[in-house]
Chains A and B, each alone.
Chain A
Amino acid sequence: MQSDTLLISPDDLILITGAAGFIGSRLVENLLDGGYRNLRCFARPSSAGGRIEALSDLHRDRARIEVFKGNLLSPEDCAAATKDVAVIFHLAAARGEKSFPDAFMNSVVTTRNLLEASLLHGCLLRFVNVSSFVVYTNMQKPTWRLLDESCPIEKHPAQRGDAYCFAKVKQEEIVTEYGKKFGLPYVIVRPGYVYGPGNEGITGRVGIGTFGVFLHLGGSNRVPFTYVDNCADAIALAGLKQGVDGEVFNVVDDNLPSSRQFLRLYKRSVERFRSIYVPHALSYGLCYLWELYSKWSEGQLEPTFNRRIWHSYWKKSRYSNAKIKMRLGWMQKVATQDGFRRYFEACRRRVQSA
């Protein structure tokens, strides 16, 4: 990275929330590799902190890594953690949470606390909000059209029936609101599906195993994968490059495989299992029926499957990383082939130990 285009110097204090998480721990590594020497890693007391502690030991002579134990639900913890911080990488969120209030609390209330605390100190140069592809509606868009940063986000996130989507949309809303109201400098990063050792599941964009047999829903769709190290790299750039305040960046890798190609590779490399392909028209019909039934039955079945979720997950789309390449100079460091090799290895280990 060219130092004249950078927002901060290597000794400025950086706060990383969700630092013990899947992507957060790679981001810490990435920043250390980039020569940043003053990191504050926010983790809950219950977080598995082994990885950060190991990094801290490894870089003992070169960097100061403070592990800040707290909870972003506590305004006091937020105030203490944001003191003297120049850049915040905000990754903490309730990923995988099924309850709307819990997802909201650990993604939106936490973000508000962090934003409030940052305003208090007045030394923040950038707030990087890590969002997600789930915020895009993808509804009023023809099949196979490009999904990029200019696409609209979900206007009725509660109707998606997905607590995580609701929370991430609301999280973005509050960040932009603070940006507008208080001039807080922010950048939003929206990764696609982040894969790699540490996140060994098969994304719902490929299919679901809920009903006993794996239903393959993706078919010929491209899956917006990004390998965890590539994603961490993109997030780091979004926090460090000058002149991108208020911008949104999608993160996907190059050479994305189709869902079918991915599933074939997975079965060959990790484990064999039976899957049934559900054609797009059928999966759309089933989602619609589920939605109607949920409504008619007054929620006897939760609206887990519905048209909004179908559009977001299983509609054929193309993805672009042109903006992040052009504006941040991001390049995919781990090739897709290598990424999958490492990921499948981790999956194999997990399957064997299960």
Chain B
Amino acid sequence: MLKVAIVGCGKIADSHASQIQRVKGCEIVGVCDREPLMAKQLYERFPVKQYFSDLTTLLSEAKPHVVHVITPPESHFDIAKICLEWGCHVYVEKPFAISESQARRLIALANERGLKVTAGHDDQFSHVARRMRTLVQSGFLGGAPVHMESYYCYELGRSGYAGALLSDKNHWVRRLPGKLLHNIISHGVARIAEYMTSASPQVLAYGFVSPLLRGLGESEIIDELRVIISDEERTTAYFTFSSQMRPALHQFRVYGPKNGLVLNQDQETLIKLRGPRYKSYVEKFLPPAMLAGQCLENLGTNLRRFLVKDFHMKSGMKYLIESFYRSIVEQTPVPIPYREILLTAKIMDAIFAQLPMEGSQPQQRLTSAVNTLVV
């Protein structure tokens, strides 16, 4: 029986606990939070053996094989490091670490100790993402991707999360190098990283504070971001994060030399885009009919999955957890190659390094960045 522990008992801990309990061959031996009441409430609601408010007590008493680190991002590195030093495999929620250098150090430590780590990029393991991966691997695109577009949006309104974040000048999100973006964009960036082959793509980023946030007196939380990523001039990608555009898309488009694919995360649909065109008016009538057919097919797939109780909102997380545990027990490769975790962190570092922080002029920066690229 694989012994699992959870460190950090906030909102996302519920998803982890409920998906872990669906995975066979494991048990949650302990949960831990600096705030004992938070640890206790998770312990009371899920089948958990013990609760702790101190990390080393958890590690020494519950002796977990795997630890899920789901604390605020700025603590990921330190906590994951301690867990690795105690001989535990580690699942770290996104963003894996605050910087590429931190990510590199964690992976090196894991390798040194013969342990495994993974990042919480669970969106990449939803049913639809797995269908896309299978198609790409089967050669549907007709070669390496030529271009990709990843949209990862977030609806920020005047209340809720935005309200709390805007009013609290000490909110932990503000302490992250990429602030709000740092906490959100890794899912969308990781999708691009999966299909990039070079280890150091060029990154050109443009970000600004939306008029909505500016109107609320905010000057440092950038919530609009456009990025161009270029992989040695072979594969390119656009990444878009927006808090204001509607619909707030979570989409990934990938175009190969022959065909393309469009993944819609919210609706869990995958649409195949045919490269070749039909002649004359046939192009106007047949493809729309085929598109309608594809939509129906997606509907059927989703319904079927739902009926066989395999369509949970967090099914990607369950799949990732299951695959990670299997890689530990059966000594097989980890579900997310370390190359992808590092590349995601590297692209994010490059984005944040270019963003205007407090008071600088985004427009000037864009112009100079464009010049750099053109030259």
Name the prevailing secondary structure of the B interface residues: helix
The CA of A137 and the CA of B336, in the complex, are separated in Å by: 46
Query: Is the CB–CB distance between A298 and B22 below 8 Å?
Result: yes
Interface residues of A in 96-130 (CB under 8 A from B): 99-102, 104-105, 108-109, 112
Partner of A108, one of B9, B18, B37, B311: B37
Other A-B pairs, 10, CB within 8 Å; known A44-B167, A299-B312 = A46-B164, A46-B166, A46-B167, A71-B168, A100-B41, A102-B10, A104-B41, A109-B35, A109-B38, A298-B312
Q: Is B358 interfacial (CB 8 A cutoff)?
A: no
Q: Enumerate chain B residues within 8 angstroms of A298, measured Cβ to Cβ.
A: 22, 309, 312
- Taken residue by residue from 290 to 302, chain A's Cβ proximity to chain B (1 for < 8 Å, 0 otherwise) reads as 0000001111100
Tell me if B45 counts as interface (CB < 8 A to partner A).
yes
For A297, what are the chain B residues with a Cβ–Cβ distance below 8 Å? 309, 312
User: Closest CB-CB distance, A19 to chain B, in whole Å?
Assistant: 16
Q: Residue-by-residue, is B33-65 near A (CB-CB < 8 Å gives 1, otherwise 0)?
A: 001011001101100000000000000000000
Asked if A299 meets B18 with Cβ closer than 8 Å, knowing A108-B41, A109-B38, A112-B37, the reply is: yes
A45, B41: Cβ atoms closer than 8 Å:
no
| Interface flag for B246 (CB, 8 Å) | no
Contacts of A46 in B (CB 8 A): 163-164, 166-168
Interface contact A300-B311, CB-CB below 8 Å: yes
If the complex has contacts A99-B11, A100-B14, A101-B10, are A158 and B44 also in contact, measured as CB distance less than 8 A?
Answer: yes
Give A300 to B309 CA distance when docked, in angstroms: 6
Q: Which residues of A contact B167 (CB under 8 A)?
A: 44-46
Residues of B bordering A, CB below 8 Å: 9-11, 13-14, 18, 22, 35, 37-38, 41-42, 44-45, 163-164, 166-168, 306, 309, 311-312
Determine the chain A residues whose CB is within 8 A of the CB of B22 once the complex forms: 298-299
Contact at A104–B309, with CB atoms within 8 Å?
no
| B14 in contact with A104 (CB, 8 Å) | no
Residues from chain B with Cβ under 8 Å of A296 in the complex:
309
Say whether A170 faces chain B, with CB atoms less than 8 Å apart: yes
Within 8 A of B (CB), among A138-196: 158, 166, 170
List 9 tightest A-B contacts by C-beta distance, closest first.
Answer: A46-B167, A297-B309, A45-B167, A158-B45, A46-B163, A104-B41, A99-B11, A101-B11, A300-B312
Distance in angstroms between the alpha carbons of A166 and B42 in the assembled complex: 12
Residues of chain A in range 293-323 having any CB-CB distance to chain B below 8 Å: 296-300
A101 touches B312 (CB 8 A): no
Cβ–Cβ < 8 Å partners of A44 in chain B: 164, 167
A/B interface sample: 22 pairs, CB < 8 A = A45-B167, A46-B163, A46-B166, A99-B11, A99-B14, A101-B13, A101-B38, A101-B42, A102-B10, A102-B11, A104-B38, A104-B41, A105-B38, A109-B35, A109-B37, A109-B38, A296-B309, A297-B309, A297-B312, A298-B22, A300-B306, A300-B312
- Expressed in whole angstroms, the minimum distance between the Cβ of B316 and any Cβ of chain A is 14
Interfacial chain A residues near B35, Cβ < 8 Å: 105, 109
Q: In whole angstroms, what is the CA distance A99 to B12 when docked?
A: 9
**Quick one: closest A residue to B313, CB to CB?**
A300
Expressed in whole angstroms, the Cα–Cα distance for A100 and B45 within the complex equals: 10
Docked pose: A215 CA to B37 CA in angstroms: 37
Identity of the chain A residue whose Cβ is nearest the Cβ of B165 in the assembled complex: A46
Q: How far is the CA of A170 from the CA of B38 in the complex (A)?
A: 12
The smallest C-beta distance from B68 to any residue of chain A, in angstroms, reads: 15
Residues of A within 8 A of B44 (CB): 158
A101:B306 contact, CB within 8 angstroms: no
* Bound Cα distance from A130 to B44, whole angstroms: 24
Alpha-carbon separation in the docked complex, A3 to B167 (Å): 41
Residue among A99, A170, A299 with the most chain B CB within 10 A?
A: A299
Distance in Å: Cβ of A106 to nearest Cβ of chain B: 10
B-contact bits for A38-60, CB 8 A (1 contact / 0 none): 00000011100000000000000
Shortest Cβ distance from residue B167 to the other chain A in the assembled complex, whole angstroms: 3
Inter-chain contacts of B42 with A (CB < 8 A): 101
B10 proximity list for chain A (CB < 8 A): 101-102, 105
B313–chain A nearest beta-carbon distance, Å: 8
Instruction: Give Cα A297 to B309, complex, Å.
Output: 5
Q: Which residues of chain A from 27 to 75 have a CB within 8 Å of any chain B CB?
A: 44-46, 71
- The residue in chain B whose Cβ has the minimal distance to the Cβ of A298 is B22
Alpha-carbon separation in the docked complex, A274 to B269 (Å): 33
Cβ of B242 to closest chain A Cβ, rounded Å: 23
**Bound form: Cα–Cα A300–B307 in Å:** 10
| Residues on the B chain within 8 Å of A100, using CB | 14, 41, 45
Contacts of B38 in A (CB 8 A): 101, 104-105, 109
The CA of A275 and the CA of B163, in the complex, are separated in Å by 34
CA distance A77 to B192 in the complex (A): 44
- A104's nearest neighbour on chain B, judged by CB, is B41
Roughly how many angstroms separate A101 CA and B37 CA in the complex, as a whole number?
10
A44 to B14, CA, bound (A): 26
The CA of A44 and the CA of B312, in the complex, are separated in Å by: 36
Interface core residue of A102, A105, A166 (most chain B CB under 10 Å): A105
* Least Cβ–Cβ distance between A237 and chain B, in angstroms: 31
Do the beta carbons of B37 and A104 come within 8 Å of each other? yes
| Closest residue on chain A to residue B33 by CB atoms | A101
Complex Cα distance, B36 from A109, in Å, reads: 9
- Contact (Cβ within 8 A) A101 B14: yes
Chain B residues with CB under 8 Å of A108's CB are: 37, 41
| Chain B, residue nearest A163 (CB) | B14
- A101 partner residues in chain B, CB cutoff 8 A: 9-11, 13-14, 38, 41-42
Tell me the bound Cα distance from A166 to B41 in angstroms: 10
Smallest Cβ distance from B28 to chain A, in angstroms? 15
Q: How far is the CB of B48 from chain A (nearest CB, A)?
A: 12
Q: Are A170 and B163 closer than 8 Å at their CB atoms?
A: no
Cα–Cα, bound, A300→B306 (Å) = 8
Which residues from B are CB-within-8-Å of A300?
Answer: 306, 309, 311-312
Closest residue of B by beta carbon distance from A45: B167
Please measure, in the bound complex, the distance between the C-alpha atom of A102 and the C-alpha atom of B41, giving whole angstroms: 11
Query: Which of A45, A99, A101, A296 gathers most chain B CB within 10 Å?
Result: A101
Chain B residues lying within 8 Å of A71, measured Cβ to Cβ, are 168
Distance to closest chain A CB from B213 (angstroms): 14
Query: Across the interface, which residues of A come within 8 angstroms of B41, CB to CB?
Result: 100-101, 104, 108, 166, 170
Least Cβ–Cβ distance between A294 and chain B, in angstroms: 10
Question: Contacts A100-B45, A101-B10: A45 and B168 contacting too (C-beta < 8 A)?
Answer: yes
Considering the chains assembled together, what is the distance between the CA atoms of A102 and B10 in angstroms? Answer: 7
List, in ascending order, chain A residues with CB within 8 A of B309's CB.
Answer: 296-298, 300
